């Protein structure tokens, strides 16, 4: 039975409804680069198990040299695995020859860090290039390119050349070009790392729009944790060629299990201790001191009046030192730095009330 077709409001092409089955599955995938001797061989990836659900945005984050670029190049056949299997829509692509890869690549779009536009071709002609290569009729090309340029907000830049565009506009051309062949899968190779923060936000919003309105699965690699936080449904953390943690972005960010993940997410989920307070914090309580707590709020608690409830329930004054409320994968998340009396009855009452409210509290130290 064929999958039901989702009407495409943009007129770019109908697409089946996304299903929960993975569009990509890595099964114990390894990639080793040969050296002059067996001892000099370099293992870029080892034992990679990873699934990319159809219709999702999945991010792979890691530092330089962690193996993320090799991983994404395996998906479009620019590199070939030396161990394990990679399944795309159930097909074992590790067994494909070059003709098989040419067929498969027609359903995979690619967005690059440095845009990879042809300087001698106009915006229109850059977007049209994949359609020309596929032998699409000129009239069809013209209609398709116009719709794609409207989608990415460049309808008025059709006749411009890349040198006349800003970095964000060049990346929008790259996105339009990647969508030209109606791909089921979009690969993003550090697509925002060459852009300023404001432009990055606009490009991420466009990618989310493409995902939601066209139903295209997106796999992206990045070293920028804010990119993952902003648009990814799932995240995999890669280190030393291995996936060290993987899961839904909100769950991974709010409860990291691996030290590498914790270091990545601290910058976007934590709240820093103010400089004027940091030098005064001590590991042990002193007479008259207060406990400094970092309280984590998730879900409904992120916007609930928890502090006022806490004060009314235990009858203890809670001093707010710093805080932030943000969103991770579209879900609210908050972090608050507070101080409460160190005296045993009051401190135990506060910590007990926090537990009863389902909040995570971390003792930072004590301050006089």
pLDDT digits (tens, 9 = 90+) for 292-309: 888 887 766 656 677 777
Domain 275-367 has CATH 3.30.565.10: no
Rg (alpha carbons) of the chain, rounded to whole number: 25
- Residues with Cβ < 8 Å from 86, sequence gap 6 or more? 24, 25, 26, 27, 29, 74, 75, 92, 93, 94
* Among 225, 263, 259, residue whose Cα is nearest residue 244: 259
Q: Boundaries of CATH 3.40.50.300 in the chain?
A: 5-107+183-267
d(CA 75, CA 219): 10
Cα 185 to chain centroid distance, Å, stands at 15
Mean pLDDT in residue range 123-143:
95
Is 48 strand, coil or helix? Answer: strand
Residue with the two structure tokens 């690549």? 105
pLDDT at 321: 84
* Among 364, 229, 345, 343, residue whose Cα is nearest residue 295: 364
Name beta bridge partners: 188. Answer: 111, 220
Written as six digits, the tokens of 153 are 């907000």
Mean pLDDT in residue range 239-256:
93
348, 269 in Cβ contact below 8 A? no
The phi, psi pair for 112, rounded to 5°, reads -110, 160
174, 206 in Cβ contact below 8 A? no
Under the phi-then-psi rule, with left for phi > 0, alpha for psi from -120 to 50, and beta for the rest, what region is 273?
Answer: beta
Written as six digits, the tokens of 274 are 């103010």
Q: Boundaries of CATH 3.30.70.260 in the chain?
A: 275-367
314, 346 in Cβ contact below 8 A? yes
Written as six digits, the tokens of 251 are 């769950």
Model confidence at 6: pLDDT above 70: no
Name beta bridge partners: 247. Answer: 235
- Per-residue pLDDT tens over the stretch 168-201: 999 999 999 999 999 999 999 999 998 999 999 9
Q: What CATH architecture does domain 5-107+183-267 belong to?
A: 3-Layer(aba) Sandwich (3.40)
- Per-residue pLDDT tens over the stretch 38-55: 767 889 999 999 999 999
Model confidence at 1: pLDDT above 80: no
pLDDT at 301: 62
d(CA 172, CA 85): 33
Regarding predicted confidence, which is higher, 184 or 314? 184
Fill in the DSSP letter of residue 4: P
- Residues with Cβ < 8 Å from 263, sequence gap 6 or more? none
Note the residue count of the chain.
Answer: 368
Is 53 strand, coil or helix? Answer: strand
- Per-residue pLDDT tens over the stretch 205-221: 999 999 999 999 999 99
Strand 360-367 with 290-298, pairing: antiparallel
Regarding predicted confidence, which is higher, 229 or 9? 229
Cα 291 to chain centroid distance, Å, stands at 36
């Amino acid at each position: 039975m064929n999958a039901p077709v989702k009407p495409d409001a943009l007129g770019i092409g109908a697409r089946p409804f996304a299903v929960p089955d993975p569009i990509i599955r890595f099964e114990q995938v390894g990639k080793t680069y040969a050296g002059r001797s067996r001892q000099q061989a370099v293992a870029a990836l080892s034992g990679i198990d990873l699934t990319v659900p159809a219709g999702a945005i999945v991010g792979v984050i890691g530092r330089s040299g962690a193996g993320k670029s090799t991983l994404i190049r395996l998906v479009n056949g620019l590199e070939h695995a030396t161990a394990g299997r990679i399944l795309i829509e159930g097909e074992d692509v590790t067994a494909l020859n070059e003709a098989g890869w040419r067929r498969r690549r027609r359903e995979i779009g690619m967005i690059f860090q440095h845009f990879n536009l042809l300087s001698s071709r106009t915006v229109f002609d850059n977007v049209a290039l994949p359609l020309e290569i596929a032998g699409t009729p000129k009239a069809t090309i013209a209609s398709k390119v116009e719709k794609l340029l409207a989608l990415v907000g460049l309808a008025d830049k059709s006749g411009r050349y890349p040198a006349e565009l800003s970095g964000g506009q060049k990346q929008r051309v790259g996105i339009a070009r990647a969508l030209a062949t109606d791909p089921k899968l979009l690969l993003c190779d550090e697509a925002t790392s060459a852009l300023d923060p404001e432009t990055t936000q606009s490009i991420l919003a466009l990618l989310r729009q493409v995902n939601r309105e066209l139903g295209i699965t997106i796999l992206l690699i990045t070293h920028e944790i804010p990119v993952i936080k902003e648009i990814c449904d799932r995240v995999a953390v890669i280190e030393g060629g291995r996936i060290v943690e993987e899961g839904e972005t909100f769950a991974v960010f709010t409860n990291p299990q691996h030290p590498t993940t914790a270091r990545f997410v601290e910058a976007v989920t934590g709240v820093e201790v103010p400089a004027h307070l940091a030098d005064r914090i001590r590991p042990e309580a002193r007479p008259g001191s207060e406990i400094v707590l970092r309280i984590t709020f998730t879900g409904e608690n992120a916007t609930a009046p928890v502090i006022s409830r806490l004060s009314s329930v235990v009858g203890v004054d809670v001093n707010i030192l710093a805080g932030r409320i943000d969103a991770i994968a579209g879900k609210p998340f908050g972090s608050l730095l507070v101080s409460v009396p160190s005296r045993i009855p009051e401190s135990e009452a506060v910590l007990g009330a926090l537990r009863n409210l389902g909040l995570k509290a971390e003792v930072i130290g004590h301050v006089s």
